[in-house]
Amino acid sequence: MKLSSANINVMVKACRKAAKIIIRDFGEIENLQVSLKGPGDFVTNCDKKVEKILIEELQTARPNYSILSEEIGKINNDESFRWIIDPIDGTVNFLHGIPHFAISIGLEHNKEIICGIIYDPIKDEMFTAEKGNGSFLNNQRMRVSSRSKLKDCIVFTGGPRPDSKNRELDLKEYSNFSTKTLIPIRKLGSASLDMAYVAAGRCDGFWQRNLKYWDIAAGIILVKEAGGFVTDFNGENDYIENKTILVTNSKISDEMIDVLK
């Protein structure tokens, strides 16, 4: 089985086209690492080129939809439908030649994410989901893991960050989780792929503070349609407003919330 709705097809086409730029430019990163200028400006330009292609493709197919994107901000049209775009989630990995980053696109209808796509162009892994139709990885159905004890689980996070205003709290939470799991916590550097990996059962939980909406939009529907939970740190649905997000396989949610308290 595969997802082949009109909106999913539009998103897949946009990602495939933009990925050609990413793959080509990623091939140049190694040469730039040793230059005096470094690859910073190059990566910024790649981000903008990818975003431009995504927006052009999405607007051609759905000219009336609004857009929220990391680089350009908002394009206001039809308020009921909105694309949420992160052209390269994991730019620091990209910058350093680490092949772990993704294009992320979510589609919102009346402020609810109804479908999403997270595409890892280097591994050619396409994670897709649509409300009521399930989650898929390269057209194979995805389900969250079934591990039920936190101590046996592998969990991901992206923090703490050096400039975070919650740095001490982040460190405390990190320390607390480190004592609860037998497997060391992973920090892979791409929130969208962290969420996709929960949906695919590759990891069991993910928590993070202060993420942007475009970091998590597509991941929300991926996890939910794969049978997982997405909440804030209190187990409520205010993760966008509170800027705290907890993503789990559903079986370890209570344990993770207890740790975060």
Q: Tell me: the pLDDT tens digits for 168-190? A: 888 899 999 999 999 999 999 99
DSSP 41-63: HHHHHHHHHHHHHHHHHHHHH-T
- Where does CATH 3.30.540.10 sit in the chain? 6-141
Give the residue with greater pLDDT, 145 vs 70: 145
The domain 150-260 is classified under which CATH number: 3.40.50.10470, 3.90.870.30, 3.40.50.1860, 3.40.190.80? 3.40.190.80
Architecture of the domain defined by 6-141? 2-Layer Sandwich (3.30)
Give the residue with greater pLDDT, 72 vs 102: 102
Confidence (pLDDT) at 169: 87
Which pLDDT band, with edges at 50, 70 and 90, does 40 fall under? low
Which pLDDT band, with edges at 50, 70 and 90, does 36 fall under? very low
102: pLDDT strictly greater than 80: yes
d(CA 248, CA 209): 15
- Where does CATH 3.40.190.80 sit in the chain? 150-260
Q: What burial letters (b/e) apply to 84-112, b meaning 16+ CB within 10 Å?
A: bbbbbbbbebbbeebeebbbbbbbbeeee
d(CA 63, CA 116): 18
Q: Looking at this protein, which amino acid is placed at residue 211?
A: L
